[in-house]
Amino acid sequence: MINMPPPAPHTPKIPENHNLVPSPSTLRKSYLKAHYFSKLIWNALSSIRPLAKRKLSIPSSTTRRMAQTKKEECDELKKPIQWTDKAKLKKLNGKIFIASFKQSEEQKQHITDRVLSTKEWSNIFEKINKYCINQPYAGASYHKLNKNTWRPNHNGTHSARQVRSFEVIYDLVSQSNQGMKLQLTPEELNSLKLAAYCYRAGRVDETGMGRDQNRARSAQIYEEHAKQLGLSQNTIEWTSAIINRHYSEPMDDPRQECAYQILDIGHRLDLHRCFDRKKMKGEVEHIRNALGQWGLESHTPSLCRLAIHMIRSTGCRIKSPHYEWYNEKVFSHFSQQGGQCWEILSDIHYHDHP
């Protein structure tokens, strides 16, 4: 048998006028594959969506609990404060809120009968800081360090340091044998601590020197919180006048003027966070002269060291004596946690070193 080669495969003849379709490019093939698989995934998700929705549906009891939690959160925030005529300087772009305290009659009695404990103040400062102080300025919302830290120059860490400075200076004054002594009742002492915390809470921007009426607003913020906590009306009026004292006119009541001087010294000590060495030199001299009325001028260096230590402990910026930028992690934490900020400052003790 003769071996014959296999017949050639039959190739159909393409007419000359036929338009040839080119094979898909690599890019086109990738697109088609992606489109195909995305459609498969979409169809699969569509088929299981009803099942997922059924499995993840929130029980009605949980919904009620979430709604109750939200309501309780809202209940802790009162309506925006209505400013008195003397406190109005300009139309504010934002609002200033006041924390709401649900105090029992027994708790209200405590604030008039005895000096509140560190833990009790921690709970109070936590709320005031959260709802009133660590908030955007009503007149300048751009003052912030990060998305969670507002008013970095005058926020809750500044307030807490003022209270601690007030405690230390008051102890020195009350133990001094020279000059005028300020003997406070427990109610007055609690009132002035609250005043120290709200001392600059009425700021709406970073203007100062009392000419922007921030003292009047701060006094009104203090009053709104003091009434809820149970302080008597006489004590509230006595303390409010101290906060709203004109920055260059002494008060007629010697005890009020003495209390103001202590608050003012505490405020000036915290200026290490925003004044350089040259500018702070004048403030330190003012502090020395103010302490001199009680024969305490020798304590000036030690009080400055205490102030710098407290500023550094809360992560705040320091400009004097040497520049240090914010420890943003620490500062942001204590700016949001007003109670913890107060507790850590309460553990810092004053030591006089000649």
Q: Is 6 part of a structural domain of the chain?
A: no
Q: Which of 206, 210, 291, 201 is nearest to 249 (CA)?
A: 210
Q: Is 50 part of a structural domain of the chain?
A: no
Q: Is 56 part of a structural domain of the chain?
A: no
Q: Is 251 part of a structural domain of the chain?
A: yes
- Total structural domains within the chain: 1
Using alpha carbons only, give the angle 297, 298, 300 rounded to the nearest 5 degrees: 70
| CA–CA distances in Å: residue 52 to residues 60, 64, 244 | 18, 22, 60
145 Rama class: left (phi>0) / alpha (psi -120 to 50) / beta: alpha
Q: Is 36 part of a structural domain of the chain?
A: no
Q: Is 1 part of a structural domain of the chain?
A: no
Average pLDDT over residues 14-40: 55
Average pLDDT over residues 218-236: 95
* Position 117 pLDDT exceeds 50: yes
Q: Is 351 part of a structural domain of the chain?
A: no
pTM assigned to the model: 0.76
Split at pLDDT 50, 70, 90, the class of 69 is very low
Q: With beta carbons less than 8 A apart as the criterion, state whether 159 and 189 touch.
A: no
Share of the chain above pLDDT 70, in %: 71
pLDDT reported for residue 97: 86
Residue 352 backbone phi and psi in degrees, to 5: -85, 115
| CA–CA distances in Å: residue 1 to residues 4, 8, 18, 225 | 9, 20, 44, 118
Average pLDDT over residues 273-288: 95
Split at pLDDT 50, 70, 90, the class of 25 is low
pLDDT reported for residue 213: 80
Average pLDDT over residues 45-52: 49
pLDDT reported for residue 41: 72
Q: Is 45 part of a structural domain of the chain?
A: no
Range of the domain at 337: 75-346
Per-residue pLDDT tens over the stretch 122-139: 999 999 999 999 988 887
Average pLDDT over residues 289-300: 94
What's the chain's length in residues? 354
pLDDT reported for residue 319: 95
Using alpha carbons only, give the angle 27, 29, 34 rounded to the nearest 5 degrees: 95
Q: What is the CATH number of the domain that holds 271?
A: 1.10.3210
Split at pLDDT 50, 70, 90, the class of 55 is very low
Whole-angstrom Cα distance, residue 328 to residue 317?
9
DSSP state of 5: P
